[in-house]
Amino acid sequence: MSRNNQALLNQYLNTYSNPQPVVSATGATGSTGPTGAAGDRYRSYTIYTITITPVLSGSVTFTVGIGLAYIYGTPVYVIGTTYTANNFLGNVTAYNATSGVMTIGNISAINGSFPATDVYNINLPGFVGVTGTTGTTGPTGPTGPTGVTGLVGPTGGAIVFDGGDPATNYTIGPVFDCGAIL
């Protein structure tokens, strides 16, 4: 553009100084895309009814679902579906995503007696949060009952109150001669 051509400059200024609104319309909604890949999967259960005997720091092996997201070291919570009092914590020490064979080691927090066959749920455990602040001290409890009276002790020696005047001397208890002048 030339600064010396006034007509061209005016045409440029009219075009770009007074913009006109652009009219637009929303187009039709497109087709739905393909379903995405499955996300991490952890919840599973033993495929068969089994009997297990977890031992502290030991391990157990059983078959669970296939294609799960477990890797070595993943913490797990195992709980019976019928006997929910039977449960424990551990870590995955082996998992074959094709066959579903899983070994859980480092077993801890064993609850229950595991007396019968059961199907066991396997999942990630809930994680322990941070410790909260200490609460306020509660009120003092009531005073307890008075204890029993103790045994009577042996009789003590004499106590002499000597004011210097024999008329005002007082003796309490038996008098023993200790070599003192009375």
| HSE (side-chain half, CA atoms, 13 Å) at 154 | 3
Within a domain: 72: yes
Structure confidence at residue 110 (pLDDT): 95
Within a domain: 57: yes
Within a domain: 11: no
Structure confidence at residue 2 (pLDDT): 58
Within a domain: 50: yes
Structure confidence at residue 169 (pLDDT): 56
3-state secondary structure labels for all residues of the chain: CCCCCHHHHHHHHHHHHCCCCCCCCCCCCCCCCCCCCCCCCCCEECCCCECCCCCCCCCEEEECCCCCCCCCCCEEEEEECCCCCCEEEEEEEEECCCCCEEEEEEEEEEECCCCCCECEEEECCCCCCCCCCCCCCCCCCCCCCCCCCCCCCCCCCCEEECCCCHHHCEEECCCCCCCCCC
User: Which structural domain range is residue 113 located in?
Assistant: 44-123
Tokens at residue 68, please?
């799960």
The number of folded domains in the chain is 1
Structure confidence at residue 164 (pLDDT): 59
Q: At 105, which CATH number?
A: 2.40.30
Within a domain: 2: no
Within a domain: 94: yes
CA dist., res. 64 & res. 78, Å (int): 12
Residue showing tokens 């609850």: 111
Show pLDDT as tens, one digit a residue, over the chain (182 residues): 556 777 777 777 777 666 666 677 788 888 998 887 677 788 888 888 999 999 999 999 999 999 898 999 999 999 999 999 999 999 999 999 999 999 999 999 999 999 889 999 998 887 767 778 888 998 998 998 998 988 887 876 655 555 556 666 555 555 544 555 55
CA dist., res. 68 & res. 47, Å (int): 14
